[in-house]
Structure 1
Amino acid sequence: MRFHAQYVWLDGNIVKWEDAKIHVLTHALHYGTSIFEGIRAYWTGRNLLVFRLEDHVERMFKSAKILGAKIPYTADEVRRAVIETLRANDFREDVYIRPIAFVSTPTVTLDVRTLDVSLAVIAFPFGKYLPPQGIRAAVVSWRRVHNTMLPVMAKIGGIYVNSVLALVEARSKGFDEALLMDASGYIVEGSGENIFIARGGKLYTPPTHASILEGITRDTVIELAADWGMTVQEKPITREEVYTADEVFLVGTAAEITPVVEVDGRPIGDGRPGPTTKKLAELYARVVRGEVERYMKWVTPVYST
């Protein structure tokens, strides 16, 4: 997958892709002091719809508050920057959007409170992140960082080294994705996704206090499932419960709703995407493209029609 576009929004200006540069002593480059979001926009054939833009920007500001860095723009200005970036590139296809605020002062001091923060919005064409027909996952040796050690509910760049190590381990063993346990041995997340399992007609997902990211796609799936009449329970999930689940799927902005058909060499269910996963994935695909009236509250059109 090639990541490229014509223009980037950087500190209030639309600049050419190749001109979006920073200094090599930029604080965030050395210490991981960036705050970012992953957002999707979907092309309907008539317009480009950004999915849950307000929620993503709200979470970005919460992450900045946790880090102690101040984004020098309002939430409304960040939302407008996203739309301006998409319009400047004149996208007519599905797009991934990466707003990122980063501590930009060239320094080696650690206290970020008085340092400058820059903001960039990058967007590029983006298709499927993981195979929609189902993936093979492995429970890796790296544990999910506990929320008493690092604020894992925040999307802070440095925290994602945990995810990088997990995915590298899984891929090096021939698997598509990693599953991480917490310090108590419960399965809590994928490398960049929340996890759900289906058992006996109910859905289960780890609670938000279980050192997981408060995923926006996770929240979407919980609401869609509840509206569909499914019981969704937040509870700790054991490795054995994953192995013996009827269905397992991962959710995230990039992953959308991805079936897990095998974990640690053990088939999940009959080794194929299950009916609940497929139903939710089909509904999600319609919702993000503005095809379900009751969920139009979640989409923001880019172009005037």
Structure 2
Amino acid sequence: MYYNENTIVFFNGEFVKATDAKANVYDQSLHYGYAVFEGIRSYNTQNGTRIFKAKEHYDRLQFSAESIGIPYPYNNDELTEISYEVLKRNNFTDAYLRPLITCPPNMQLTKGKDAQILIAAWEWGAYLGEKLLRLSTSSYRRITPACFRVEAKVSGHYINSIMASQEAKDKGFDEALLLDVEGFVAEGPGANIFFEKDGVLHTPQLGSILPGITRATVLEICEGLGIEVVERQIKPEEVRGVDSAFMCGTAAEVIGIESLDGVAFAKPWKESLGAIIQKAYKNVVLEKEYRTVAQVA
């Protein structure tokens, strides 16, 4: 699904076949989840193949590494150029890119002494599919900033995401909604969330969530379209019976939500603010213009 015998990746300074890129079984990252990564999309736009917000993603990769003590001896402009070369060598236009920084062998619980980088790409549709999602409130809480750097995209953090997502699927739902340690709405396992009520969007404030790049793009779109957004702490009981909801993330893009814990949202998706933003987001990543709610509705 992700590679074949012809797939090319960038691994530790070289373009090599994915089947030839070998990690060490004593790598610190393998044993302790001590690694950072990004998820980035490229699109076949009217102006050619474009990596969406490459600078923002690589800046966050650098922040993530430095925030947990992993060396970052890389130039982000060069990493962007390498990413385009990975796409070119694999003949990809619409694709998902995965930069991953790991640490070499070290069994000590100490900060990284060196770093290794992988940039891989594969063709991947919308991560959560195209249909409206049925969410289940997870019994697991989102990782807390008292224990982790939640604003960093750290590999080990995603054990929490796997557990929550699998729990929801085991119960027959499509995805999970996690609360933070204080019981407020946080985010999905791999996406931020927005709720619509009386013509206003509400989304969890920063603090216990990943500051998603797609989330920031949605906020930019809302400002451009004149849609009011309130960032605040949201109690789970407040979202029962709201008009609509959607999740957003690089892999998921913008995806509507049908229900939470079996309770459907009131407004048909096609009439929701989320549907308008979904169309506007597609225009943005394809480098098309949008100006008004009427234009993208």
- State the TM bucket, normalised to the shorter chain: over 0.9
Tell me the distance in 2 between the aligned counterparts of 1:141 and 1:66.
29
Please point out which of 129, 132, 143 is paired with 2:130: 132
Please point out which of 257, 272, 281 is paired with 2:254: 257
Give the C-alpha shift of residue 273 in structure 1: 5.1
User: Residue 297 of structure 1 corresponds to which residue in structure 2?
Assistant: none
Q: Is the 8 A contact 1:10 1:120 kept in 2?
A: yes
Is 1:75 aligned to 2:76, yes or no? yes
Please point out which of 191, 203, 215 is paired with 1:218: 215
User: Residue 100 of structure 1 corresponds to which residue in structure 2?
Assistant: 100
Consecutive unaligned residues of structure 2, counting only runs of 5 or more, are 292-297
1:111 partner letter = T
Tell me the distance in 1 between the aligned counterparts of 2:196 and 2:139.
24
TM-score, scaled relative to structure 1: 0.91
Tell me the distance in 1 between the aligned counterparts of 2:37 and 2:134.
28
- Percent identity reads 37
Tell me the distance in 2 between the aligned counterparts of 1:208 and 1:188.
9
Give the C-alpha shift of residue 264 in structure 1: 0.3
Is 1:3 aligned to 2:2, yes or no? yes
Is 1:233 aligned to 2:234, yes or no? no
Q: How many residues align?
A: 289
Give the C-alpha shift of residue 194 in structure 1: 0.5
- CA displacement, residues 93-122 of structure 1 (integer Å, 9 cap, x when unaligned): x10000011112x22111124x22100101
Q: Helix, strand or coil: the match of 2:248? A: strand
User: Residue 44 of structure 2 corresponds to which residue in structure 1?
Assistant: 43
Consecutive unaligned residues of structure 1, counting only runs of 5 or more, are 295-305
Please point out which of 265, 270, 286 is paired with 1:289: 286
1:289 partner letter = L
Q: Helix, strand or coil: the match of 1:198? A: strand
Matches within 5 A, 1:179-194: 179-194=177-192
User: Residue 174 of structure 1 corresponds to which residue in structure 2?
Assistant: 172
- CA displacement, residues 258-277 of structure 1 (integer Å, 9 cap, x when unaligned): 11111101001146454211
Alignment root-mean-square deviation, CA: 1.5
Please point out which of 140, 143, 147 is paired with 1:142: 140
Tell me the distance in 2 between the aligned counterparts of 1:290 and 1:45.
7
Q: Is the 8 A contact 1:197 1:245 kept in 2?
A: yes
TM-score, scaled relative to structure 2: 0.93
Out of 82-91 and 180-189, give the one that drifted further.
82-91
User: Residue 164 of structure 1 corresponds to which residue in structure 2?
Assistant: 162
Q: Is the 8 A contact 1:134 1:273 kept in 2?
A: no
Tell me the distance in 2 between the aligned counterparts of 1:118 and 1:44.
32
Give the C-alpha shift of residue 236 in structure 1: 0.9
Query: Larger relative contact order (C-alpha < 8 A, sep ≥ 6)?
Result: 1
Tell me the distance in 1 between the aligned counterparts of 2:246 and 2:182.
22
Q: Is the 8 A contact 2:44 2:50 kept in 1?
A: yes
2:254 partner letter = I
